[in-house]
Amino acid sequence: MLEELKKQVLEANLLLPKYNLVKFTWGNVSGIDREKNLVVIKPSGVPYEELTIEKLVVVDFDGNIVEGDYRPSSDTATHIELYKKYKDMGGIVHTHSTWATIWAQACMEMPALGTTHADHFYGNIPCTRKLTQEEIEGDYEKNTGKVIIETLGDGEVMAVPGILVSCHAPFTWGKNPRDAVVNSVVLEETCNMAYHTVTLNKGIESLDQYLLDKHYYRKHGKNAYYGQK
Amino acid sequence: MLEELKKQVLEANLLLPKYNLVKFTWGNVSGIDREKNLVVIKPSGVPYEELTIEKLVVVDFDGNIVEGDYRPSSDTATHIELYKKYKDMGGIVHTHSTWATIWAQACMEMPALGTTHADHFYGNIPCTRKLTQEEIEGDYEKNTGKVIIETLGDGEVMAVPGILVSCHAPFTWGKNPRDAVVNSVVLEETCNMAYHTVTLNKGIESLDQYLLDKHYYRKHGKNAYYGQK
Amino acid sequence: MLEELKKQVLEANLLLPKYNLVKFTWGNVSGIDREKNLVVIKPSGVPYEELTIEKLVVVDFDGNIVEGDYRPSSDTATHIELYKKYKDMGGIVHTHSTWATIWAQACMEMPALGTTHADHFYGNIPCTRKLTQEEIEGDYEKNTGKVIIETLGDGEVMAVPGILVSCHAPFTWGKNPRDAVVNSVVLEETCNMAYHTVTLNKGIESLDQYLLDKHYYRKHGKNAYYGQK
Amino acid sequence: MLEELKKQVLEANLLLPKYNLVKFTWGNVSGIDREKNLVVIKPSGVPYEELTIEKLVVVDFDGNIVEGDYRPSSDTATHIELYKKYKDMGGIVHTHSTWATIWAQACMEMPALGTTHADHFYGNIPCTRKLTQEEIEGDYEKNTGKVIIETLGDGEVMAVPGILVSCHAPFTWGKNPRDAVVNSVVLEETCNMAYHTVTLNKGIESLDQYLLDKHYYRKHGKNAYYGQK
């Protein structure tokens, strides 16, 4: 079942080591079938070089394993919370990539400081509040999803397709698993640039709205003119 | 048409990933035929691994496509402005290379702090002013060229063959496309060194003029004595 | 003798260059046979590309060579001190890996700032006091072990399986040689992240105990639920 | 003539790109035949991938080309000054390697902050004063050698086999060309570590003399006990 989606999820997971976003097994990608409300996700703790289609796990919205011999990623409940809330998400990525994790550990929103950022993300990358002791000791992964949702709110979430979880690491998403990984690569590079920009010029501020608009809409939406038709 | 120039432009574009100056499609190289006033440039949004001679685009000074089935780089109008103004430019490169973009995002001129810089660039690398809202919402890419020209002025521009566009990223140029890419590599490395030099020694200042002269003219002009005859 | 252990020690040593933890011969891994109280360790100053099973050295708890034609690592006495004191250590690694060495040279404890850290290390990575002149001019490598023990104390040492020796570099350990190398990789990456986190946000503090607990015990102990059963 | 020395000089030059010490042609290695007082050096501006034994240049102590069809490195006069003054030097390297150049551009001595440094260099790496306008406009490369000598003085120079030339870049040396390159690699890594150590802990000071002694003499001199006999 879900053969095409599994193939996409496998390929997207294998992009994580290719783009140097993970060490060991520090990351996972999932994808969703919106008709069946089933999520395909990486098995927990399996090295990327040993990952195959057969080892992927299919879970439903209650986290039950529908198919697969392996335990799903320990972060599965976070993915499910996000998929349930935001219908446009087709793929989700969680990594501990170096630069994005640095901003998450610093518990700081990552500002939009240049057009590299604006080409891909329509505004600052938010950072969640810290989870409370109760949230951590309770249903932790589910509560991580809830705190992300609390931060993102009810609106559109595909224009800023990433978030930093305080003291933890980033999540990104996209219309499909591959797109979500691309957003992880861009987040990592923009976090790298932003670290060095703010340490070079301490007074720097986020982009003016009109420059953010210009670059974002050059690449997105009906008036986009970047790339081929 | 322009087969030799197209070959040069293709090869120069392929140097961008080779020298780690780009992620995805974040960069473009063009070259010009000065007799015909035709510019050969990378197509917009095409991955480097898929780039071929046939996909390059030929445009005239009004931005009209003279040959090619693809849309040219979205930055084409900036390239054209520069070629029209500065007759010595034979190739132009735009990237979002990490260290040069950091200085551009910091909206800071990159100072000439050592002989590595002086060997290649005869002075600080300027940073443009920010474009106004009107310039951004108007003919943006053309106005980017105009603001670069405003910064560079009417004089000779081949001795400092690069510029940082505020909140954006660098442009470099050279006597041909390959030479322009070499200048991008040097700009990236000197921006890396300069970031760390100014954060290590906050009081450091630009090179003395006579050391700048010495190193620049060791490699450039009629009295150069670096390299083979 | 000890063929299986030697194989493990060889393979673990070869992981050091693979994971970019060493330049030249700047590192060594050992393993111990707890029944015989014999330690297998890398020979001193032998390049990794020339390392073979036959070149490994077997020493007893007094540092006597029991087998092998080579001189053991100059740090052997430090390894022996630690093995004698802490019965759970099955493998020990010493490197001068870049980021961990930076924290050691700064003579600073490396704080637990995120879940990447908490997933592997149950608390801050301590930094020893400086050795005294007498300790350095005396039995230096043995005294290095003693000062590490003074810092770690009498308790359990496998939950925080690494230490920074002031002005020097890190040691890590594990239940076997490979596990000790994995801890070196994690220490290097968390030291990298921690450097940039504390320079980005100077007021940042170590993780709350409950988040440290949550992530550490997700992966360790009888209630762990990360990975496959 | 000098076939063995030429082979050593070629191999040492090829180590520069291998160890990521150079971009393009930004570096050169020489070796000396002390019986004939002849220096073999890289030709100026020749890419490493095109370098062959036949392209190396042999010069005498007056800088005259004794053999070779190419112009020698533009830095040849600096090498000759050092060889004439210091009889123990068998090979000299000049690069613009990133981290060492950062310290040189900052015009700062690089402090001995850890045992990685002490294992190889017996004390801080000095930084020359700036050359005067007269020295730069006169016989520049020769004067660079003179200012290095002014800094190093008349004593032994093999224990601290490197120097930073203010606003410029490092020189290192060794008993032969290969050894000089190894010192460049170590200088690059210790400069990297030192930059981050002093930015992490601003109050940090150079190693205590007894720790410097211990580590340096573990590896050097008649009582050394590192490595194989």
Please choose, from the candidates B57, B55, B40, the residue with its C-alpha nearest in 3D space to the C-alpha of residue B4: B40
Return the C-alpha torsion angle C23, C26, C27, C28, nearest 10: 120
Average pLDDT of the segment spanning B69-91: 98
Q: How far apart are the first and last CA of chain B?
A: 33
Residue environment code for C86-120, b if the CB has 16+ CB neighbours within 10 A, otherwise e: beebbbbbbbbbbbbbbbbbbbbbbbbbbbbbbbb
∠ CA(D33), CA(D38), CA(D40), 5° rounding?
85
Using the Cα atoms of residue A222, residue A225, residue B1 and residue B5 in order, give the sign of their dihedral: negative
Q: How far apart are CA D160 and CA D118, in angstroms?
A: 10
At D138-196, the pLDDT tens digits run 999 999 999 999 999 999 999 999 999 999 999 999 999 999 999 999 999 999 999 99
Query: Which residues in B lie closer than 8 A to residue A220 (C-beta atoms)?
Result: none
Inter-CA distances, A12 with A27, A81, B113, Å: 11, 20, 43
Structure tokens at D158: 């093999």
Q: How far apart are CA B96 and CA B102, in angstroms?
A: 9
**Residue A224 CB contacts under 8 Å (≥ 6 apart), including other chains:** A217, A218
* SS3 per residue for chain C: CCHHHHHHHHHHHHHHHHCCCCCCCCEEEEEEECCCCEEEECECCCCHHHCCHHHCEEECCCCCEEECCCCECCCHHHHHHHHHHCCCCCEEEEECCHHHHHHHHCCCCECCCCHHHHCCCCCCECECCCCCHHHHHCCHHHHHHHHHHHHHCCCCCCCCCEEECCCCCEEEEECCHHHHHHHHHHHHHHHHHHHHHHHHCCCCCCCCHHHHHHHHHHHCCCCCCCCCC
Inter-CA distances, C115 with A167, B2, C118, C123, C191, Å: 6, 57, 5, 11, 13
Reported confidence tier of residue D49, pLDDT bands at 50, 70, 90: very high
Query: Which residues in C lie closer than 8 A to residue D124 (C-beta atoms)?
Result: none
Do D214 and C137 count as a contact with CB atoms less than 8 A apart? yes
Structure tokens at A101: 């994790």
Q: How far apart are CA D156 and CA A82, in angstroms?
A: 67
At A114-133, the pLDDT tens digits run 999 999 999 999 999 999 99
Q: How far apart are CA A194 and CA A214, in angstroms?
A: 20
Closest-CA distance, A58 to chain B, in angstroms, reads 31
At D89-124, the pLDDT tens digits run 999 999 999 999 999 999 999 999 999 999 999 999
Q: How far apart are CA A142 and CA D7, in angstroms?
A: 65
Q: Is B65 on the interface with A (CB under 8 A)?
A: no
Using the Cα atoms of residue D128, residue D132, residue D136 and residue D141 in order, give the sign of their dihedral: negative
Q: How far apart are CA D82 and CA D65, in angstroms?
A: 18
ipTM, interface predicted TM-score of the complex: 0.97
Asked whether the predicted pLDDT for residue D229 surpasses 90, the reply is no
Question: Looking at residue B229, what is its pLDDT?
Answer: 78
Secondary structure of residue A175 in the 3-state scheme: coil
Secondary structure of residue A181 in the 3-state scheme: helix
Question: Looking at residue A207, what is its pLDDT?
Answer: 97
Return the CATH superfamily for domain A3-219. Class II aldolase/adducin N-terminal domain (3.40.225.10)
Q: Quick one: what percent of chain A has pLDDT higher than 70?
A: 100
Reported confidence tier of residue A229, pLDDT bands at 50, 70, 90: confident
Closest-CA distance, C56 to chain D, in angstroms, reads 13
Please choose, from the candidates C199, C162, C198, C167, the residue with its C-alpha nearest in 3D space to the C-alpha of residue C182: C162
Q: What is the mean pLDDT of chain B?
A: 98
Sheet holding D91-95, edge to edge: D65-67, D57-59, D38-41, D27-33, D91-95, D170-174, D162-164
Average pLDDT of the segment spanning B27-37: 98
Reported confidence tier of residue C64, pLDDT bands at 50, 70, 90: very high
Average pLDDT of the segment spanning C8-21: 98
Average pLDDT of the segment spanning C100-127: 98
Q: How far apart are CA B72 and CA B59, in angstroms?
A: 8
Phi-psi region of C33 (alpha: psi -120 to 50; beta: other; left: phi over 0): beta
Asked whether the predicted pLDDT for residue C229 surpasses 90, the reply is no
- Residue D206 DSSP symbol: P
Structure tokens at B5: 């120039």
Q: Is B107 on the interface with A (CB under 8 A)?
A: yes
Inter-CA distances, B81 with B89, B125, C89, Å: 11, 19, 67
B:125-164 residues touching chain D, CB 8 A cutoff: none
Do D185 and C24 count as a contact with CB atoms less than 8 A apart? yes
Do B169 and A116 count as a contact with CB atoms less than 8 A apart? yes
Secondary structure of residue B72 in the 3-state scheme: strand
Question: Looking at residue D57, what is its pLDDT?
Answer: 98
Of B23, B44, B199, the CB nearest to A227: B44
Question: Looking at residue B81, what is its pLDDT?
Answer: 98
Q: Is A208 on the interface with B (CB under 8 A)?
A: yes
Question: Which candidate in A49, A55, A101, A105 is best for mutational testing of the C interface (most C CBs within 10 A)?
Answer: A105
Q: Give yes or no for a contact between B159 and B122, defined as CB atoms under 8 angstroms apart.
A: yes
At B36-46, the pLDDT tens digits run 999 999 999 99
Structure tokens at B72: 């040219």
Which sequence spans correspond to the domains of chain A? 3-219
Pure H helices in chain B: 3-18, 76-85, 98-105, 115-120, 133-137, 140-152, 177-200, 209-219
Q: Is D202 on the interface with C (CB under 8 A)?
A: no
Report the interhelical angle of A76-85 vs A140-152 (nearest 10°): 30
Diameter of chain C measured on Cα atoms: 54
Q: Is B108 on the interface with A (CB under 8 A)?
A: yes
Reported confidence tier of residue C81, pLDDT bands at 50, 70, 90: very high
Average pLDDT of the segment spanning C212-219: 97
Residue of B nearest to A118 (CA): B168
Reported confidence tier of residue A152, pLDDT bands at 50, 70, 90: very high
